[in-house]
Structure 1
Amino acid sequence: MAPASCAGGDPNQPALLSRGRPTQTSSTENATFPGGNAVDGNTGTRWSSQFSDPQWISVDLGAVKSVSRVRLQWEAAYGRQYRIEVSQDNQNWSTVNTQTAGDGGTDDISFTATNARYVRIFGTQRATQWGYSLFEYEVYGV
């Protein structure tokens, strides 16, 4: 039987790993917009940071997984420049992708598969006067 975390039962196909997993954030705008909103599968909720740079949100996948894709559904307050970072211990981070001209909407970013337990979006430049705001933050892998 295929592992429950693999889509369609095929262990080689990327599956959504971040849904409902614990998050950490550098900040929240207020109690209405916690990090958990970005991984709850509900596009009617969102995480929103304080209105300054830098800001970040990370998700704990629960165990080391092979991750290869991140899908971000931005609210109107989005990241112009940000990095996708990975870690196995939540202390030492490696950059797997850098975005320098984000334009909001949905960013679907694939990168070389890497082993990680934690995946972080590290925003370095906001596109608006507001913070960073994500309706959904999805991490895919096997």
Structure 2
Amino acid sequence: MKTLKKVFFSMLITALLLSNFPYSVGVHASETNIALNKPVTTSSVRPARSELVGALVVDGIDDDESSRWSSKMATGLGENEGPSEDGTVEQWITVDLKNVYDLSMVYVSWEGAYAKSYQIQTSLDGTNFTDIYVNTNAKGGKKTIDKTSFINPALAKYVRVKCNEPVKASWGIQFMKLN
């Protein structure tokens, strides 16, 4: 029986090593900005304000007009790629945290062009996302969403804010900070 247990555990350890077990779980202390300077992808960047890229949302600077992400106008009259100012209604921003964390809170800071309906989503693979927070009547401004408001567990390597409806389509989405 001891030999069988040794063989089983040896096989289990070998399988984990060979599969490149990809997750290292960390604990997110609320005072630590784990998104700081991490890679960001976005649905679009407004051509007229092409300097306002997604990476500015995780640069650690809040309340600075030059440090924000500006999406294309969320009119639904265009695509998110290409030179047109018009994009799709739905816009999003995703941060790759580089490691897996059990989130204890998410901080969002919107400019005047906020999403009045949005979801905060998490993913372990960057493809399959799960809602952890949904707001269908947002008012913009600054919001700290703590774990007690999460609707699902918040184990995440990727955090996405999916903006479903802008407060004003011709403004698009202006996102100041995501921590």
Give the alignment's TM-score, normalised by structure 2: 0.68
Amino acid at match of 1:20: N
Q: Secondary structure at the match of 1:16?
A: coil
1:54-133 to 2 correspondence within 5 Å? 54-111=90-147, 112=150, 113-129=153-169, 130-133=171-174
- Give deviations 1:53-100, integer Å, cap 9, x for gaps: 100000000011111311111111001000000000000110111001
Q: Percent identity?
A: 31
Q: Secondary structure at the match of 2:103?
A: strand
In 2, distance between residues paired with 1:40 and 1:100? 27
Structure possessing the higher relative contact order (Cα contacts under 8 Å, 6 or more residues apart): 1
- Asked if the contact 2:69/2:175 (under 8 Å) is kept, the reply is yes
Q: Give the 4+ runs in structure 1 shifted more than 4 A.
A: none
In 2, distance between residues paired with 1:48 and 1:93? 23
Displacement after TM superposition at 1:29 (Å) = 1.0
Displacement after TM superposition at 1:12 (Å) = 7.2
Which of 16, 29, 34 aligns to 1:13? It is: 29
Task: Return closer, same or farther for 1:46/1:87 CA change in 2, 3 Å cut-off.
Answer: same
In 2, distance between residues paired with 1:131 and 1:72? 17
Amino acid at match of 1:65: Y
Amino acid at match of 1:36: A
Amino acid at match of 1:55: Q
Displacement after TM superposition at 1:101 (Å) = 0.8
Count, aligned residues = 129
Task: Return closer, same or farther for 1:89/1:12 CA change in 2, 3 Å cut-off.
Answer: closer
1:47 aligns with 2:69: yes
| Structure with the larger strand share | 1
Give the alignment's TM-score, normalised by structure 1: 0.84
What RMSD in Å do the two structures reach over aligned CA positions?
1.6
In 2, distance between residues paired with 1:24 and 1:41? 17
| Structure with the larger helix share | 2
